[in-house]
Structure 1
Amino acid sequence: MAVMDANSAPATEPTGLKARLRALFTGTGEASLTRRLAGTIFLIRVISAGLAYFSQILLARWMGTSDYGIYVYVWTWVLLLGSMMDFGIAASAQKIIPEYRASGDHARLRGFLSGSRWMTGIVSLIVSLLLAGLVKLISPWIDAETVVPLYLGCLTLPAFVVANTQDGIARSHDWMRLGLMPQFIIRQALIIGFTAGAFALGFKLGATIAMLASVAAVWVAMIGQMIVLNRRLHTHIEPGPKAYDYRGWLAVSLPILLVESFYLLLSYTDVLVLQQFVSSDEVGVYFAVVKTLALVSFIHYAMSATTAHRFTEYHTAGDKDRLAAYVTHAIKWTFWPSLAATLILLALGKPLLWLFGPQFTGGYDIMFIAAIGLVVRAAIGPVERLLNMLGHQHICAVAYASAFVMNLVLCLVLVPKFGGHGAAAATSIALTFETILLFWIVRQRLGLHVLAFGKRK
C-alpha cells in the first residue's frame, strides 16, 4: 500500500501550484496527516524559538554576558538532566501506547497513562534532593555566583520531568499542541513575563532571578498541562481496572534512555566543556550561536515526534512496504527543509546575533562550522526513532555513545586552544560520524536506504 498520497492523485484532478499545495497539506492519507502534524509541531517550535530568542536577547541585555553565561550553564544542566530523568518514558510512550492499543490491553494502557507520571515524578524528586546535596558538598570549589542558581535548577527538575512524560503521552495520541505548547510556548511566555516583571519592579536581573523565573514557569506550565491532559484522557479512555507493568515499561524504556542520554550528552557537551575552559562571556556568545541555529534542529524534532508511533504501528502490523515508504517520506521532509533553513539562517546570521548585543556578532563565523553537522545529520532523518521503535535500541545506543565519546574527546582537545570554534568543529565532526554509523546500521539491520538522495533499494 502506498502512503505517498500527494503523489497518487487521480489524473482528473487539477494541476498546478494550487492543486499541489492542496494535495500536500489536505490529503487524507498517512503522509498528509504526518505533514500536518509535523507542520503543527514545527510551527509550535518556531513560535517557541521566537519567544525563546526574544527572552534570551532580553536576558543577555539585562544581565550582561557574565550572568547570562551562568544562567545558560545552569539551564543547560536542567535540560540535560531533566531530559534523562524520565527513564526514557517520554520516548517509549510512542512504542508502549500503540502496542497496548493494538493488543487490546486496556488495563495496562490505563495503568501506564497514570503510573508512568507518578513513577517519573517521585524518582525525579528524590534525585533532585540528592543533587541539591551534591551542590552543597561541592560549593566550596565552584563559583559562588553559580551555587544558588544550581539549587534553583534542582527545584526545577521534578516538574520538568513530569512535563516530558506528559508530552510523550500526548504525542502518542496525536495531541501535538497539548504535548508541546505548555513546554515550548507557555513556558517561554511565562519566563518572559516573570523576568520582565522582576525587571520592572527594580530587581537586579542576575542569574538567580532569571532561574527563579524559570522555576516558576516550568511548574505552572506542567500543572496546567496535567489538568488538560487528564480531562482529555478521561473522555478518550474508558474507565476500568489498571495494571502497572513497571518492569515491562522499564525493559522497553531503559535502552531508549541510553539512546536519548547519549544524544543529549552529544548535544550539550560543547557548552559544558566550554564552561570549564573559557569565560562566561564566551559561553554566552556560543550559546547565542546555538540558539540561532536551533530552527534547523526543530525540523528534525518535528518529524521525529510525528513519526515514531507510526513506525511502531506499521511494524506491528507487519506492513513492510508501508513502513519503507513512510520512512522515505520522513527523511525527505527532514533534510530538504533543514537545508533551506540553514542557508537562510547563515545569510541572516550576523544581524540575528547582533540582537543579543554588538559583542555577540563575534560568533558569526562559528555558525558556519556548527551548521555543517546539522545539515549532515538531517540527511538521514529520524532514523534513531526508527531503530528504537523497531527494537534496535541497543545498537542505536552504541552509535550515540560512540559519537558522544568522540565529541567529548575532540572538545577536550580543541576547546582549550580554539574556544567556541573548537567546540563547533568537534560537534560537527561527531555528528558526521554518527550519521555515517546510523546509515550503515539501518542498511545492515533493516535493509533500508535512509539517505535523502541516492539510489534506493
Structure 2
Amino acid sequence: MRVFEDRGYCVVITALINTAERFLPSSLRPVAAGAVRRACRIATDRGEHAAAQRMALIAFAIRILSAAIAFISQIIQARIMGEFEYGIFVFVWVLTVLIGNLSCLGFHSVIVRFLPLYRTEGAHGSLFGIAVTARVFSMLMATLIAGIGLGTLYLFGSMVEAYYMTPVFLALFILPMIALGDVLDGTARANSWPFAALTPTFIIRPTLILVFMVLAVHAGYRPTAETAILAALAATYVTSVGQFLTVSTRMRRRYPAVPRSYSLGAWLRVALPIFFVEGFGYLLTNADVVIVGLYLEPSEVAVYFAAAKTMALVQFVFFSVKAAAAPRFSTLVAEGDRMGLARFAGEMARWGFWPSLAVGAMMLVAGHLLLSLFGPGFSAGYPLMVILFAGYLAKSAVGPGEVLLTMAGKQQLCAWLYAGVLVANLLLNMILIPRFGLAGAAAAAAGAMIIEAIFLHLTVRKTLGIVLFVFADPMGAAHPQKVS
C-alpha cells in the first residue's frame, strides 16, 4: 500500500511540474526536471534520511499554511478589537502558551529523544511508559501552576493592571491543555507523523480561535480581550482532546500491547536539562513580547506583535527543519554514525538558511502593505521587521544546533549556553526598551539571536567536532569528537 501511495505522490508531483514547464523558458526546464527527480526520490525512498526530508517538507508546508491562517486571524482580530484590546489579548495569550509549554518540564522533547531509541530496541513497554508518563506529568504540573496563579491573583491582584485581570484569570484554565498538546506534538514527531504533530496546534487551533471569536461577537458578546481568551480556551480544549484521541489510536495500532515499563528517574535526569535548554530558548523567542507588555501600553504591544508575527514566517522555516531533524539526530547518535551525523547537520543548516533568506526578503518587500492590513497605526512596525530579520538570518545560518547538542547527550552544556543567552537577552531588553521603545525591543531580540548563533556554533564545534555553519564543511574541525 505504501509503495502505491508513494508512487501516487510522485505522479502528482511530476504532473504539476510538467504543467509548470510549459510556462517556463527553455533554460529553466532542466531545473524543473531536476526538481521532479529530487521530489520523487524524497517521496519514494524508505530510509530514515528520506523520512526526515519528507517530514521537513511537510512541516514547512504546514507552517506556511499556519502562518497564513495566523496572519489572517490576527488581522481580523485586530480589526475587530482595536489596538488596545488586541494588545491585551496577544500579551496574555503569549504568556499562556509560554507557561503551558514550560509546564511540560522538558517531557515533550524527552519523548523525541527516547521513543526512536525504544522503537529501535523493541522496548515497547518503555515506549508506552514514557508516552503515558509525559502526558500525566505535564498536565499535573500545568494544573499546579494554574493553581498557584489563581492564588497569586487572589493575594496580589491589586498590583496587576485592571484590564489584565479577567483575561489572565481565564487563561490559567487553558494551561493543562497547552501542556497536553505539546506532549502529543512531541509524541507524533517522534513517530514521524508530521500531520498529527503540527496540524492541531498550527492549523486547527488558530482557525477555531478565529471562528469562535467571530461567532461570539456575532452572538452579541463585546469584542474585547476577555472574549478572545474565551474563544482561545474553547479552541484549545477541542484541539488537544482531538489530538489526544488521534495520537493514542495510532500508537495502539503501530505498537503491540505490552505491559508498561517506567524509568521516571532516568527520564527526569534527561528532562530537566532539556527543560532548561528549551525553556531558555522559548523564553528567548517570546521574551520580547512579554517585556514590551511589562514596559509599554497594550497598543504598543499590538504594533510590536504584528511586526514580529509578520516576520515570523522566517522562523517557521527554521522550526520545520528543527522538527524534522530531532528524530533523525537521535537515530544517528544511537547508531554512533558520527560521519552521517555531521553530514545531516550540515544539510539541515542549508535547508534552514536559504529558505529563510528567500522568505525574509519577500516579507520585507511586502512589509508595509501587510502591516497596513492590521489597521492604520500598525505600519509603524516596519523598521522592527528589518531589525528582526537580521537576527532570524543569523540563527538559521547554524541550523538546529540546540537540537543536535540535546540529542547527542549534551543537554546540560546546552542548558548553560541558553542560560547565558537568556541573561544577555534580558539585559538587552532592560537597557534598550526604556531608551528606544519598540526599536529597542527588536534590537534586543535580534542581538540575542546573533549571540545564540555564535554560542551554538562554537559549542557544537568544540564538543562534537562538527562545523555547523551554512557556508562551511561540517567535517572541517581539526579534532572531531566521538558521539556518545
Q: TM-score, normalised by structure 2?
A: 0.89
Mapping for residues 240-255 of structure 1, pairs under 5 Å = 240-255=258-273
Cα deviation, 1:387-438, whole Å, max 9, x if unaligned, reads 0000011111111111111111111111012111000111111111111111
* 1:67 partner letter: E
Select the residue among 252, 258, 274 that pairs with 1:234.
252
Distance 2:295 2:134 in 1: 39
* 1:17 partner letter: V
Cα deviation, residue 43, structure 1: 1.2
Cα deviation, 1:4-58, whole Å, max 9, x if unaligned, reads xxxxxxxxxxx92233212322211544432321111111111111111111111
Distance 1:229 1:105 in 2: 19
Mapping for residues 398-413 of structure 1, pairs under 5 Å = 398-413=416-431
Structure 1 counterpart SS, 2:377: helix
Aligned 8 A contact 2:108 2:134 in 1: no
Cα deviation, 1:163-191, whole Å, max 9, x if unaligned, reads 10001001101111001111111101111
Distance 2:145 2:472 in 1: 47
Mapping for residues 86-125 of structure 1, pairs under 5 Å = 86-125=104-143
Q: Which residue of 2 aligns with 1:19?
A: 33
Structure 2 counterpart SS, 1:358: coil
Q: Which residue of 1 aligns with 2:213?
A: 195
Mapping for residues 218-297 of structure 1, pairs under 5 Å = 218-297=236-315
Unaligned runs of 5+ in 2: 1-28, 477-484
Aligned 8 A contact 2:52 2:328 in 1: no
Select the residue among 21, 35, 56 that pairs with 1:38.
56
Distance 2:117 2:354 in 1: 32
Distance 2:125 2:50 in 1: 32
Cα deviation, 1:171-220, whole Å, max 9, x if unaligned, reads 10111100111111110111111001011112211010000000000010
Mapping for residues 325-404 of structure 1, pairs under 5 Å = 325-404=343-422
1:177 aligns with 2:191: no
Cα deviation, 1:200-246, whole Å, max 9, x if unaligned, reads 11221101000000000001000011111111111101011111221
Cα deviation, 1:68-97, whole Å, max 9, x if unaligned, reads 111111111112111111011111211111
Distance 1:59 1:431 in 2: 29
Task: Figure out how many residues of one structure are paired with residues of the other and give that number.
Answer: 443
Structure 1 counterpart SS, 2:366: helix
Label 1:455 to 1:105 Cα distance change in 2 as closer, same or farther (>3 A): closer
Distance 1:236 1:183 in 2: 23
Cα deviation, 1:114-151, whole Å, max 9, x if unaligned, reads 22211211221122111121122221111111111001
Aligned 8 A contact 1:91 1:256 in 2: yes
Aligned 8 A contact 2:308 2:384 in 1: no
Q: Which residue of 1 aligns with 2:465?
A: 447
* 2:35 partner letter: L
* 2:38 partner letter: L
* 1:128 partner letter: A
* 2:276 partner letter: L
Tell me whether 127-136 or 63-72 shows the greater mean CA deviation: 127-136
Q: Which residue of 2 aligns with 1:212?
A: 230
Mapping for residues 421-440 of structure 1, pairs under 5 Å = 421-440=439-458
* 2:36 partner letter: R
Q: TM-score, normalised by structure 1?
A: 0.95
Distance 1:60 1:227 in 2: 33
Q: Which residue of 2 aligns with 1:152?
A: 170
> What's the % identity of the aligned pairs?
36
* 1:145 partner letter: Y
Unaligned runs of 5+ in 1: 1-14
Distance 1:436 1:119 in 2: 34
Distance 1:124 1:248 in 2: 21
Cα deviation, 1:282-301, whole Å, max 9, x if unaligned, reads 11000000110110011111
Structure 1 counterpart SS, 2:256: coil
* 1:269 partner letter: A
Cα deviation, 1:372-398, whole Å, max 9, x if unaligned, reads 100000000111100000001111111
Distance 2:205 2:287 in 1: 24
Aligned 8 A contact 2:111 2:131 in 1: no
Distance 1:101 1:35 in 2: 20
Cα deviation, residue 455, structure 1: 4.6
What CA RMSD, in Å, does the superposition of the two structures yield over aligned residues? 1.3
Distance 2:366 2:412 in 1: 40
Q: Which residue of 1 aligns with 2:11?
A: none
Q: Which residue of 1 aligns with 2:4?
A: none
Select the residue among 417, 429, 452 that pairs with 2:435.
417
